[in-house]
Amino acid sequence: MIPPGAPILTAEAMRAAEDAHFRGVPQLDVMERAGAAIAREAARFATGRDMLVLAGPGNNGGDAFVAARLLKAAGHDVTVAAMGEPQTPAARTMFERWEGATSSLYEARPRPILIDGLFGTGMSRALDRGPRALLADLAKGAEFSLAIDLPSGLETDSGADYGAPRVSATIALAALKPAHLLGAGLEKCGHVLLADIGIPVESAWHSLARPRIEAPGAFDHKYSRGMVAVIENAMPGAARLAAGAAASAGAGYVMLIGTDPASRVDAIVRKSVAAAEDLADALADPRIGVVVVGPGLGRDRRAEGLLKAVLATSHPLVLDGDALSLLGRNAARWLQARTAPSWLTPHGGEFDRLFGEAGGSKIDRTLAAAAEAQATIVHKGADTVIADPRGAVRVAAHASPWLSTAGTGDLLAGLLAARVACGDDALVAAETAVWLHAAAARRAGPAFVADALIGQIPQAVSECL
């Protein structure tokens, strides 16, 4: 569970927000607030069980000493184990305010409640083998483990694992950090809680929140509600899934354009196109609000011809699957030449083929790609990152792992097209599509076939009205 709609800050951005705040508020007061928030959460789960608090050398350790003092004062049985001497003035003061004994990390024995305050946003290198193994043992030996800000050993900005334990819950201080939503962090953080410790934070990056969807007005009709065209080719089933999702997510009119005589879906209009050259005519209808190209397109000459005909139109585009593979490293060049907006929905492998493998965290890479292609990018995965060319980011974590099955990507492309055709802003369309996709999967339960998600989409929409 991740707090929805919460700001996400990198380690550097968090430090800048803290520094600005400390000009008006004493740092020790802020650390007292952080420690109090941690103590409050730990006490909620303690039910009289003994606690072990781990304190590292930096301010994460400072928070830990505050929490230990408050929990002990509240009557809990608390022992503290520290790793090295406190290295910051604030951590030293909090160490001195802790009046109990402090043992070394190497002497610590597991206790039912573990509070991990070894390292937070200041972790600068992988944990050494010794502390890594000790921490893992202490976390495994605990019945409930709570990480202060981050499980110690997670790289704040990427979520890469440098030896972090898996904890029951993590209390993010002031803001989420990328590691709460990305990469290994998804599995290591457990339930993520957010504590307001008085530091004002602003960010263009947020965790995904439930969107609002406008119901049609009394005078809306099928065209005013938005028209989606889906290009069908080598694997018509994929295009059909995209079309079905679009029709179920609020589009007024969905058209499948291709050659497959077997693809009959009663409410979806079919338009036959024999040769790729005929596609331009089929797409000439100015009422078309968006074209989906890529699901089941194939990668042969005909597929290439169809894609080129689509790119030559002035319609907004949702590009997925084979369209992304065909564009490859030339995607940005093709898209920059267009005036209508585009959305790209690559999974990790497609993203690497489009934009290369280098460039920092998943958020950094998606942002750079959005700027390069001047498109909204939905970089799919267990941690889906949406980025737009203006620098906005939304991260959706913890979607059902059952979504890792054939056809779900096609559905997402269709959902996105529906929201674009309905007139959502570019970023909102992507957020809404990703949210509906996850909600439909949640409703479908385990081991679903992608087709079954279509029937869940209207219920997912109803959660947003």
Q: Which residues define the annotated binding site?
A: 59-63, 116, 120-126, 149, 152, 238, 296, 347, 380-384, 409-410
Going by the DSSP 8-state scheme, the letter that residue 8 receives in this structure is B
Comparison of 62 and 258: residue with beta carbon closer to ligand LP7C6HRI:
62
Token pair in block for residue 95: 């160490």
354 in contact with ligand LP7C6HRI (CB under 6 A): no
411 in contact with K ion (CB under 5 A): no
Token pair in block for residue 190: 């457990």
147 in contact with K ion (CB under 5 A): yes
Q: Which residues, at least 6 apart from 29, have a Cβ–Cβ distance to it below 8 Å?
A: 198
What DSSP assignment string belongs to 178-202? GGGTSTTHHHHS-EEEEE--S----
With CB under 5 to 8 Å by kind, the binding choice for 56 among K ion, ligand LP7C6HRI, none is: ligand LP7C6HRI
60 in contact with ligand LP7C6HRI (CB under 6 A): yes
119 in contact with ligand LP7C6HRI (CB under 6 A): yes
Q: Which is it for strands 383-387 and 376-379: parallel, antiparallel or unpaired?
A: antiparallel
Give the other-Cβ count within 10 Å of 40's Cβ: 15
Q: How far is the CB of 325 from ligand LP7C6HRI (least distance, A)?
A: 40
125 in contact with ligand LP7C6HRI (CB under 6 A): yes
DSSP 3-state assignment of 206? Answer: strand
Q: Which of 45, 87, 137, 265 binds ligand LP7C6HRI (CB under 6 A)?
A: 87
Q: Which residues, at least 6 apart from 100, have a Cβ–Cβ distance to it below 8 Å?
A: 68, 69, 72, 78, 79, 80
With CB under 5 to 8 Å by kind, the binding choice for 361 among K ion, ligand LP7C6HRI, none is: none
Comparison of 127 and 438: residue with beta carbon closer to ligand LP7C6HRI:
127
Beta bridge partners, 272, equal: 258
With CB under 5 to 8 Å by kind, the binding choice for 57 among ligand LP7C6HRI, K ion, none is: ligand LP7C6HRI
Stretch that binds K ion, among 17-25, 27-35, 116-124, 181-189 (CB under 5 A): 116-124
Q: Which of 46, 55, 63, 257 binds ligand LP7C6HRI (CB under 6 A)?
A: 63
Of all helices (H) and strands (E), which one includes residue 89? helix 89-97
Q: Which of 116, 157, 161, 410 binds K ion (CB under 5 A)?
A: 116
- Kindly determine how many residues on this chain lie close enough to bind K ion according to the rule CB under 5 A: 4
164 in contact with K ion (CB under 5 A): no
Beta bridge partners, 114, equal: 52, 145
Q: How far is the CB of 179 from K ion (least distance, A)?
A: 11
58 in contact with ligand LP7C6HRI (CB under 6 A): yes
Comparison of 98 and 253: residue with beta carbon closer to K ion:
98
Of the candidates 53, 202, 30, 191, the residue with the CA atom closest to the CA atom of residue 113: 53
Q: Which residues, at least 6 apart from 91, have a Cβ–Cβ distance to it below 8 Å?
A: 55, 57, 58, 59, 61, 62, 65
Burial (CB count within 10 angstroms: exposed 0-12, middle 13-18, buried 19+), residue 136: middle
With CB under 5 to 8 Å by kind, the binding choice for 147 among K ion, ligand LP7C6HRI, none is: K ion
